[in-house]
Structure 1
Amino acid sequence: MQKLVLVLVLVFLGFWMFTDPSGLADAGGAVGGQLMTWTGNLFDAVITFVDEL
């Protein structure tokens, strides 16, 4: 089942890359930016927690 889902995701990304490469790049940039924000928030929370100890 996991292999089927992986294949479907790869086919979807490949199709998206050939039909709308700039849209895929924009989405990838947005996802990357959001991950950086979440990672920064996580580290801030951990630092605050450790400081409170």
Structure 2
Amino acid sequence: MAKGEDSTFPSESYFKVLPKIDSPKKPMKPTKSVPSLLGSILDPKIYPSVLE
């Protein structure tokens, strides 16, 4: 599955990057604010539906 990480939703990297972007003092928020953070960091081609 490691090889298919590109074509599938990289949930592992998804949550691995979150804590680094978000302030440690800030509590983990729902995935509602996640697309905005990842949208500016990851390529839109990776999260086409999330950016919408």
Normalising to structure 1: TM-score of the pair?
A: 0.30
The structure having more radius of gyration, on CA atoms, is 1
The structure richer in helix per residue is 1
Normalising to structure 2: TM-score of the pair?
A: 0.31
Pick 1 or 2: higher relative contact order, CA cutoff 8 A, min separation 6.
2
